Structure 1
Amino acid sequence: MERPRHRRRSIAAVVAIVAGGLALGGLPAAASAAPAGSAPALQVDGNWIRDANGRGVTLQGVSVLAPEQNDVCDYCDSKPTAELIDLAADASAGWFSDVVRLPVTEISSTTDLAAYDAQYIAPYVDQAVDLGIYLIIDLHLVRDYGDGPGAVPQSMVKRFWDYIAPIYGSTTNVIFEVFNEPINPANWNTWKDYIQPVVDSIRTVAPDTLLLMGSPQWSTMLNGALANPVDDDNLAYVYHLYPNQGSPTPTLLDGKFGNAANTVPVVLTEFGWNPPGEFSDPITNGTTSNWGVPFREYMDAHPWIGWQAWILDNFWKPQMFDYEWNLMGGEFQGRFIKDWLAGAPNVSPCESHDAVGAAAQVSSVHQSFSGDNLTDGDCSDAGRWLSAVGDTTPTATVTLGSAQTVDSVGVYSGYGGGSGVVLVDFTLEVHTGGEWQQVASITGNTQPALDVPVGVAGVDQVRLVVTDPSASTTEAEIARVYELAVRG
């Protein structure tokens, strides 16, 4: 699973920086003192992580961008890392992260670790202690490991942790993610031989810290730990999941990490999605309805598996905010992750939107699948509008209860969960100020859940005009639409 460079532009920069480092000095002789902990110490117990009182802990939170890369985007209004960590833990703002993952990226064999720690780690450990949350220090390398050309030598990883571990090993808020995403060799036993001495070295100075352990192929091979686990009694295994790996059915997730999690502790330190477009890429293309909802359903049924969503940012894909720091909802992941952290019900954006119950008029109806189904919040096959055979331009108009700003319209179409017969070509229009204006023209669509940006104020009606209802050559040429979800 190769990461495209534009999702991890930060990592592309790492390769260049690794050669030169942040400074040319060797390992500093002394380290600064770490703050005392304010969160209970964590300990692995079977396949659970438990606190000092024996209570099972499901580590749920978000990742932030590596602080040293916070200004990479030249067209984004970047926010300071500290502000984002405050937000992630701010219950009054509706966020309830009990853990934040802090990537550490620009590390080499010659990095001045004292300077790096003082600028990019220590302030955020202090902040986590003040907030009473856990902080994952994530050595965020995405590279081959070993002695091959361009690979990360074991000595480099060991050097980092030999410096960092004694500083924070007694801070109970801190968790160590030892190596984010080793790639090749794609062999668990080879990986274990490489990383076991690093773990042993950490334990000489940080005997009690919870460790998170990745695996080859971008942390997707944790099943190797079942037959040959890393020798450590306070270590959980990491998995990274994105939509390119498939639809998150129980069968798929069981095979990737769920079955293993019945035996060993597992934490998903990366997952995320956004609809196709500028806020996603081939790895992360997915929608809340078709990917986020079933994924959460699985995770809610497996509370012993912790998770940290990628990423609380407005630039790195798949981000939770647009470029102006508006939290993205609908089929984007931002609001869904926020609601999940708050314990809100797991519902598709199709089920809850501003036009639920609004009046809908349609150009034609097939059988009993009326236009009322367009605004009933029901995205089952029974809850669709079907246009009549022979209607060459199926049209639906939704009248809102009052004029409002419409940020986007979710168009949900197809059959059997959206496969096969989604709308291909259509336009969206809005009625404002007594006039209709077209806000989108979609051609060649293949997505069953499409979140169409609008951004118009004073809208009292929304109209869908379909010019190609299906790409199928065997099914009836009719429009099949689950819902028109209007979002303000």
Structure 2
Amino acid sequence: MKNLKLLSLLLILFSLNNNCSSKKEIQNSPEENVTPVATHSQLKVKNGQIVDASGQPVQLKGMSLFWSQWQSQYYNRETVENLVAGWDIQLIRAAMAIEHEGYLDHPEREKEKVKKIIEAAIDLDIYVIVDWHDHHAEDHLIEAQQFFSEIAKEYGNYPNLIYEIYNEPLDVSWPQVLKPYHEKVVASIRQHDPDNIIVLGTPNWSQRVDIAAEDPVEGENLAYTLHFYAGTHRQELRNTALTAINKGLAIFVTEFGTTNANGDGPVYKQETGEWMDFMEQHNLSWANWSIADKDESSAALLPGTKPSEINQEKNISASGKLVRSHLTSRN
């Protein structure tokens, strides 16, 4: 009897061990690790392209939030969850306003909004662009250094983070103004985060990537901002981008619109499609402007839409439907 009891106990233990092993195998199977960060892990820049941990070129696609001080209702986990579930985003961009009652006047308030988006992105295993949404960042260098140093110290150990340290410079000098600004802010980030990608704004509303390509900032894992609005910027800007690409510049389209540059007017489906083809061809990651319910054409949502309603077809604008079709068909 003792031998039978011992044999039964051993069989039970063997069965439990097999079950545990099976669960571990299931949890670690490639089919389960389909989230963007689990798939690509640590991003880097190599030979003028953004690549993943295995060295393969990556094209990430997602949505940008609107200026944080004006559309704060979407700066929460619910928004990010619904965009992941219903829009299939791989990245979210937190556009932290600097001027116009933004971070300069309310630093803690605006910073907390960004942190909510960062933490939601980390929990949902997608990438997040932390955007210093400013047109005069060279006048706010100290504030930018302090902010990005803090963010890098707190979250820099996560591969989810992408830093965008100057949204859209105006018509200012690259060598005399922008490059020195970038060098200082990059140094503040690298004190705490040695490897996550940093995206650098370029002259003329982040369009003159060709100028940056002539005199890039020294350092690892640096990319450069290209912004376009399909109704205003067409083949001429694609030619400019191609010039920079051919010179080995890594480009990241952190913001684009389907409309005119003022964010309004018609939705340019054909012209947007031409840009989509160009970005696909060159593996340019992108974020669409924007998750907002503002009464303008570039807003992806119709006025009055709540975060819980952003997956409902009736609440999505013409621009939102066009962009969502590109997001959900990426596989």
TM-score by shorter chain over 0.5? yes
Measure, in 2, the Cα distance between the counterparts of 1:190 and 1:227. Answer: 15
Measure, in 2, the Cα distance between the counterparts of 1:207 and 1:316. Answer: 41
Measure, in 2, the Cα distance between the counterparts of 1:174 and 1:256. Answer: 28
Partner of 1:75: none
Aligned length: 280
Instruction: Choose from 137, 141, 154 the match for 2:130.
Output: 137
Measure, in 2, the Cα distance between the counterparts of 1:187 and 1:286. Answer: 33
Partner of 2:301: 321
SS of the residue aligned with 2:276?
Answer: helix
SS of the residue aligned with 1:333?
Answer: helix
Give the unaligned 5+ runs of structure 1: 1-36, 72-77, 147-151, 275-279, 346-488
Partner of 2:268: 288
Partner of 2:254: 269
Partner of 1:47: 48
Measure, in 1, the Cα distance between the counterparts of 2:205 and 2:216. Answer: 18
Partner of 2:213: 226
Structure 2 CA distance for partners of 1:338 and 1:166, relative to 1, 3 Å: same
Measure, in 2, the Cα distance between the counterparts of 1:310 and 1:125. Answer: 18
CA displacement at 1:160 relative to structure 2: 1.8
Matched, 1:297 2:289: no
Are the equivalent residues in 2 in contact too, given 1:139–1:178 (CA < 8 A)?
A: yes
Structure 2 CA distance for partners of 1:84 and 1:196, relative to 1, 3 Å: same
Instruction: Kindly provide the amino acid, as one letter, of the partner of residue 260 in structure 1.
Output: A
Structure 2 counterparts to residues 75-86 of structure 1, below 5 A: 79=74, 81-86=76-81
Partner of 1:312: 291
SS of the residue aligned with 1:257?
Answer: helix
Structure 2 counterparts to residues 175-186 of structure 1, below 5 A: 175-186=162-173
SS of the residue aligned with 1:137?
Answer: strand
- 1:164-219, Cα deviation, whole Å (9 max, x unpaired): 22112111111111111122424454311232122122212211111011122221
- 1:373-414, Cα deviation, whole Å (9 max, x unpaired): xxxxxxxxxxxxxxxxxxxxxxxxxxxxxxxxxxxxxxxxxx
Structure 2 counterparts to residues 320-469 of structure 1, below 5 A: 320-325=300-305, 326-328=314-316, 332-343=318-329
SS of the residue aligned with 1:142?
Answer: coil
Instruction: Kindly provide the amino acid, as one letter, of the partner of residue 341 in structure 1.
Output: L
Instruction: Kindly provide the amino acid, as one letter, of the partner of residue 80 in structure 2.
Output: I
TM-score after normalising by structure 2? 0.76
Are the equivalent residues in 2 in contact too, given 1:243–1:285 (CA < 8 A)?
A: no
SS of the residue aligned with 2:191?
Answer: helix
Structure 2 counterparts to residues 230-249 of structure 1, below 5 A: 230-243=217-230, 245-246=232-233, 248-249=234-235
Are the equivalent residues in 1 in contact too, given 2:94–2:129 (CA < 8 A)?
A: yes
Structure 2 CA distance for partners of 1:283 and 1:80, relative to 1, 3 Å: closer
Are the equivalent residues in 1 in contact too, given 2:75–2:113 (CA < 8 A)?
A: no
Greater RCO structure (CA 8 Å; 6+ sep):
2
Measure, in 2, the Cα distance between the counterparts of 1:222 and 1:176. Answer: 18
CA displacement at 1:341 relative to structure 2: 0.9
Measure, in 1, the Cα distance between the counterparts of 2:326 and 2:213. Answer: 30
Measure, in 1, the Cα distance between the counterparts of 2:47 and 2:149. Answer: 28
Structure 2 counterparts to residues 89-100 of structure 1, below 5 A: 89-90=84-85, 93=86, 95-100=87-92
Are the equivalent residues in 2 in contact too, given 1:185–1:216 (CA < 8 A)?
A: yes
Partner of 2:150: 163
SS of the residue aligned with 1:135?
Answer: strand
Structure 2 counterparts to residues 8-47 of structure 1, below 5 A: 40-47=41-48
- 1:205-257, Cα deviation, whole Å (9 max, x unpaired): 211111011122221222122211011111111111014534x23xx243231
Measure, in 1, the Cα distance between the counterparts of 2:191 and 2:286. Answer: 28
Q: Which has the higher helix share?
A: 2
> Which is higher, the Rg of structure 1 or of structure 2?
1
Partner of 2:29: none
Partner of 1:217: 204
Structure 2 CA distance for partners of 1:344 and 1:59, relative to 1, 3 Å: closer
SS of the residue aligned with 1:176?
Answer: strand
Measure, in 1, the Cα distance between the counterparts of 2:96 and 2:74. Answer: 18
Measure, in 2, the Cα distance between the counterparts of 1:182 and 1:168. Answer: 26
Instruction: Kindly provide the amino acid, as one letter, of the partner of residue 40 in structure 1.
Output: S
SS of the residue aligned with 2:66?
Answer: coil
CA displacement at 1:120 relative to structure 2: 1.4
Calculate percent identity across the aligned residue pairs: 24
Partner of 2:243: 259
Structure 2 CA distance for partners of 1:266 and 1:344, relative to 1, 3 Å: closer
SS of the residue aligned with 1:205?
Answer: coil
CA displacement at 1:284 relative to structure 2: 4.5
Are the equivalent residues in 1 in contact too, given 2:94–2:131 (CA < 8 A)?
A: yes
Partner of 2:94: 102
SS of the residue aligned with 1:223?
Answer: helix
Instruction: Kindly provide the amino acid, as one letter, of the partner of residue 205 in structure 2.
Output: W
Give the unaligned 5+ runs of structure 2: 1-36, 306-313
